[in-house]
Amino acid sequence: MINILEKSHDSVLGVEASGKLTAKDYEEIWVPALDKLISEYGKVSALLYMDDEFKGWETQAIVDDAKFGFKHCKSFEKIALVGGPAYVTAGVKMFSMFLTFEIKCFDADELDEAWEWLEE
């Protein structure tokens, strides 16, 4: 499940992910919200906060995430990933050199720091 965080504003979108993310989460919440901001601002920053109940992604959600990312990679300025399993951080370290935007991982207790980094 994805919920948009109240601290989201202007071209900065933050969401909290809990449980297992599904294709429906992407289709109904994440992608429409990002599409709206991209069409309005051109470039956006995003924050994904994975809470203590986060269990990863369904396969179709991973596919949807990758498709959206490839299509809109030049529309991102920064992405902050907060909390989540160690494999998320490892994946970011492995692939960040291929990205056209800044991406940074934060520990679960560094949500405020992640927001500050996005707004720098």
Instruction: Report all structural domains of the chain as residue ranges with CATH numbers, in order of start.
Output: 2-118 (3.30.750)
pLDDT at residue 93 greater than cutoff 90 = no
Distance CA 120, CA 50 (A): 22
Q: For the whole model, what pTM was predicted? A: 0.92
| Residue 106 scores a pLDDT above 90 | yes
The reported pLDDT for the residue numbered 105 is 95
**Beta-bridge partner residues of 13:** 46
pLDDT tens, position by position, 41-89: 999 999 999 999 999 999 999 898 888 888 998 999 999 999 999 988 8
Sheet arrangement for strand 12-17: 2-4, 12-17, 44-50, 76-83, 102-106
